[in-house]
Structure formats: C-alpha cells, structure tokens
Amino acid sequence: MNRKLAIAHRPAYYDGQLLQADDFIDEQRYHIHAQRRHATELHGVGVVRGLQVSAAGEHAVAVGPGFAVDGRGREIELPQGVQLDLSGAAPLSRLRILLSHRDDQEAEREHRHRIASWAVVSAREARDDAGDDGDGLLLATVQLDAQGRIGANAIDTAVMRRLRTMLAPGSVGVDALDDSLRRGWLRLPFRGTVMVGGPDGEGDALPPPFRIGTTEARSPSSTDKKAGNPGAGGTMAIPIPLGAVRVLRLRLAGSTNAGGIRFHLVRGGYDPATGKHLRHMLVDASIEGQPYNKLFDIADGVLDPEYHTLALWLHGLEQTTVSLVAIEFSY
C-alpha cells in the first residue's frame, strides 16, 4: 500500500513541440523554487557574510558589502557598500536597518523583456515587538538622540540575524572539530593524600603530609629549628574528563619551593588482556626555585577510555606550597 503526494511539476519536452512563454516561465519557477527551498531547508535564513552597519557621520549609516538569504530563500548580494541617509527621521527615533530583495520588470525599451533583481537597504521605525519586516533581514538598530543625530553607541549590530547552518543531531563528531575545540585544561587545587609508600628509589622514609587549605596545600612548619623544615609529600588522583583520549601537558605552580620538588605523573589502571595492574611513568621531573610555574610536555599520553587512570605523586623536600595542578587533555 502506498500514497502519492505531488511536490512539484516541471515541463516535459519532446521533439517538434511548440513552446510558449508559459513553458519557459514554468521551467524558471521550478528551478527557482527548488533553489530557494534548498537554501532555507538545508542552510537557513540570515546574513552569511559582511553587511556590517556603521555610522557615516551624524545623520547617515553605512552598510558594507555582503551576502544573505531572506525568509523566502532568495539570495541577496550587496556587491558594494552603500550609505543610507537618516536625516528625515524624527529625533529620538529607533530605526531598524533592513536588507530586502525586490524584482522589477525593466521599463526601458531595450530591457523590457528582462526582470531585474535588486538588493534594497532601508530604514524603518522600530517597534518593540517587531521581527523582520516582511522579507527584510534585520541588520542593526539605530537610536537617534534628541537632535536626530547618531551618537557613539547608537548602533546595535547584535540584533543582526545571522545564518546558522542547520545540522542533524549527532552529525558532527569530535574529529570534525577544530583542534582548539578538541583540547582543554582541567585545573585543580592540590589535594594530596597521605603516602603509604614511596615510588621506586625513594626508600622507606616518608615525608609528612601536606596541610590542605581551601585553595592551597602547604608543608607543615617544623617545631625543631635545628632539624629544618621536613617538607611534605602526597599523592593525588586526577579525574579524566569524559571523552578525553590523550593527556598533553602538565602545569604545576606555587609560591614557595625552598628545597626543590620531585614529582611523578603516572598513568595507571588495569590491563584486561593480561589481568595485571598498569603503571607507566608519563613525567618524572624536578622543580627548582621559587615562586615556580612550570609546564611539562607529555609525549606518550594516550588514554584508554575504559581502563586508564592518572595520578600525581609529589614531594616537596623543604618548605613547599602548591597552588595549581593543571592538566591539558585532548578529545
């Protein structure tokens, strides 16, 4: 079972057919309607490029060249900039600068069998509830002062209707995004937990834990001046954002680093193929000097979306503060 619904008709030609004006008009209408339907349904309505409105003196505005599609799918190209005189508008008027399309039958004898298409720039009195006037596209509004002049902040171009290409849900994946949109920084205060064992080469002597404040971690103050400041140490799990596939860089920053900082960034997790624990050193480095703000590149930062974890091990050898742990991920 089926039902048919007519969506369009186009001329059907054959050899020897006598063609009349209506046949050519129908042919034009078919293609015009198809093009306009394509523009509105697949792309949308609004300004594609240019058409910026700016002041041209105290009583005129300039509209730059550009291209747009109106509400009926008609393409409107303004090949060069134009100026619009507003001196006839009443003081304190709020005007809407509009771009519209118009077709005219040529009146001149040599062009009487042609239809001219025009881009029309106009200014109309604005209403609070007004959208686009007819088929006109709103480019800007202009608020005149008590003398009917255009002041410094009189032109509002934020109201311009811009064409936003319509996309089907889920049609653009992460790989299609610009590189700048596929990376970002996760910024955290240091929240070191008490160490129960040092990494390889650290021995059994564990430093005291950091004192954790709201925004900063600090090593404890020593009560024995002869012994000096014992520093502090801790480990911290780093949450991996949803969708992250690689860790790119690590930044550590703080105001105090009296005796140096040792740290490791470790990729951990579980290997389902072997059933074994994973532990891979991504960064093994030291920081000297204070204050410090150090950035470290990570060469092998690939992250499995199911089985990998990240953790930071940090040991401040003497008086130490940690203000920022920042990790850059890509998606």
**145 and 187 share one domain:** no
Whole-number pLDDT of residue 306: 94
- Would residue 166 count as lying in a domain? no
Write down which residue in 124, 156, 188 finishes a domain.
156
Residue from 216, 301, 319 nearest 265 by CA: 301
Distance in angstroms (rounded) separating the CA atoms of residues 240 and 301: 12
Q: Give the full edge-to-edge strand order of the sheet including 183-188.
A: 183-188, 324-330, 246-254, 292-297
- Would residue 12 count as lying in a domain? no
**191 and 308 share one domain:** yes
**119 and 83 share one domain:** yes
Per-residue pLDDT, averaged over 180-185, amounts to 83
**268 and 314 share one domain:** yes
Q: What share of the chain is helix, strand, coil (3-state, %, to 5)?
A: 10, 45, 50
Q: Give the full edge-to-edge strand order of the sheet including 82-85.
A: 53-55, 60-63, 82-85
Residue from 195, 296, 222, 299 nearest 253 by CA: 296
Would you give the end-to-end CA distance of the chain in angstroms? 48
Whole-number pLDDT of residue 290: 94
**228 and 108 share one domain:** no
Write down which residue in 156, 187, 204 finishes a domain.
156
Q: Give the full edge-to-edge strand order of the sheet including 321-322.
A: 211-212, 217-218, 321-322
**324 and 244 share one domain:** yes
- Would residue 14 count as lying in a domain? no
CA distances from 122 to 119, 136, 271 (A): 10, 9, 68
- Would residue 253 count as lying in a domain? yes
**303 and 196 share one domain:** yes
The two structure tokens encoding residue 178: 């610009």
Per-residue pLDDT, averaged over 125-143, amounts to 73
- Would residue 103 count as lying in a domain? yes
**148 and 200 share one domain:** no
* Upper half-sphere CA count for residue 56 (Cβ side, 13 Å): 14
- Would residue 231 count as lying in a domain? yes
Give the pLDDT confidence of 28-81 residue by residue, as tens digits.
999 989 988 988 888 889 999 999 999 999 999 999 999 999 989 999 999 999
- Would residue 70 count as lying in a domain? yes
Residue 253 near residue 264 (C-beta atoms within 8 A):
no
Neighbours of 91 (CB within 10 A): 10
| CB crowding 210-232: b at 16 or more within 10 Å, else e | bebeeebbbbeeeeeeeeebbbb
Specify the 3-state DSSP secondary structure of 169.
coil
Residue 260 has pLDDT above 60, yes or no: yes
Per-residue pLDDT, averaged over 262-290, amounts to 95
| Confidence at 200, pLDDT banded by 50, 70, 90 | low
**147 and 203 share one domain:** no
**94 and 55 share one domain:** yes
Amino acid identity at 305: P
**147 and 265 share one domain:** no
Whole-number pLDDT of residue 211: 94
- Would residue 281 count as lying in a domain? yes
> Which domain, by its residues, includes 310?
179-330
Domain count of the fold of the chain: 2
Higher pLDDT, 330 or 165: 330
Task: Give me the CATH number covering residue 209.
Answer: 2.60.120
Whole-number pLDDT of residue 129: 46
**221 and 322 share one domain:** yes
The two structure tokens encoding residue 83: 């100026």
Looking up tokens 């959208």 gives 131
Ranges of beta strands (E only) in 167-216 are 183-188, 211-212
Higher pLDDT, 161 or 196: 161
Instruction: List, in order, residues 6 or more apart from 55 with CB less than 8 Å away.
Output: 61, 62, 150, 154, 155
pTM, two decimals, is 0.55
Residue 134 has pLDDT above 90, yes or no: no
Specify the 3-state DSSP secondary structure of 298.
coil
